[in-house]
Amino acid sequence: MKFNIYLFAITMELSLSCVSFGVPLYARSLGATDALIGVIGSGFGLSYIFSALISHRITGRRNPRNILGLLALLYAIISGVYVLVEKPAAFFFIRFVEGFTLGLFWPLADSIPSWFAERKPGYMRNYNAGWSTAVVVAPLLSGYLSMFYGLRSVFLLGLAFAFTEAVVVFLTMPVHLAVHETERPKSTGFGYVRPAFVNAYVTGTLLTLYPAWLNQTGFGYESIGILVGVMGFTRTVSFLLEHRIYQHLGERTMSTGYALCALFALVPFAKGFLLQLFVMAGVGVGMGLLFHEGLNLALEPAGKVLGNTSVFETALGTGFFFGPVVAGAVSVFGPFLIFPETAMVSLVQLVPIARRG
């Protein structure tokens, strides 16, 4: 069986997205407050920061196929452990272990597009489209599954996808891989850190406190799944069309991503399902542009790919940590403040861009 980068990316992200959908809603059903849900979400980012930072030292000198396969199996076990939780505070510790595991997995996975010396054009685009498609599918599956079988069934679905990922890796991934330059090279330095951080900061809040807020304001699991799925859909579309978008916007692509992510501030003012749908569509495009541009920059220097993707994923982990924990703290003064606070982090990035322009 031939290795398929799209299948590899979508399967693991399906597992992560199912778990991410279930954690805040299950914690809420067990009595967790917004502040506690924010702390639970920050546990993931806290461990992700450290494991992503050292991932290239741990995984860089070993067979990537075996490492990725074993990490996928470990994540399957973690997904299953969630089913046993009866007190919401326990989610923090499991989320912490989950973040550490994925902090080792994703930097290695992000470097895959540069491993194939004779890869097809658009290889990175297919990788990004793969995991982003999962963000569309997983919330919809999870929402409907929760309606009929309860929230614990979502974690079992995550377990099944993670196990499938391990099978895909062990059976199809080549053993010997070669480093290759990336598409559209640029002179970057660490220019990929800010878009990665902002993307994760918004994502961290969106996947933890946003579903809980929707549920608290009367939205059902089905509607929540659709709204989060629409965000994932528009992010996927932005990945697939990124080259065309870049041709039209050029250097303004990054600033456009920041501006669209700032639409998150409109969440408490968007009354009704259709307006929420509009906001999520715009935010999804913004996150897609930031992630794709950031990863493009991280993959530029040949020979430094794994180290750069470690830093890239560390920036993501930092955003995953601070997004939920700051939003959870802000929620004490009013749940609606979560969204303008999160959007402000994105808007601030436009200031240095405007000064340079």
Query: Per residue in 309-318, pLDDT tens?
Result: 778 888 888 8
Contact 23, 43 (CB under 8 A): no
| 180 phi, psi to nearest 5 deg | -140, 155
* Best CA proximity match to 313, nearest among 12, 13, 39, 54: 54
- The shares of helix, strand and coil residues in the chain, as percent rounded to the nearest 5, are 80, 0, 20
Residues contacting 195, CB < 8 A, separation 6+: 254, 257, 290, 291, 293, 294, 297
Residue 184 sits in a domain of what CATH number? 1.20.1250.20
Number of domains in the chain: 1
| C-beta of residue 279 within 8 angstroms of C-beta of residue 267 | yes
pLDDT tens digit string along 70-119? Answer: 999 999 999 999 999 989 889 999 999 999 999 889 888 877 776 654 45
Q: What's residue 246's pLDDT?
A: 75
- pLDDT for the residue 118: 46
∠ CA(205), CA(235), CA(348), 5° rounding? 50
Do residues 286 and 259 touch, judged by C-beta distance below 8 A? Answer: yes
pLDDT of residue 183: 41
Q: Which residue has the tokens 């009013």?
A: 334
Structural domain of 268 = 5-356
Residues lower than pLDDT 50 in the chain: 117-118, 178-189, 302-303
DSSP code for 117: T
In tens, the pLDDT along 42-74 reads 888 889 888 888 877 766 556 778 889 999 999
pLDDT at 84: 93
**Residue 281: predicted pLDDT:** 95
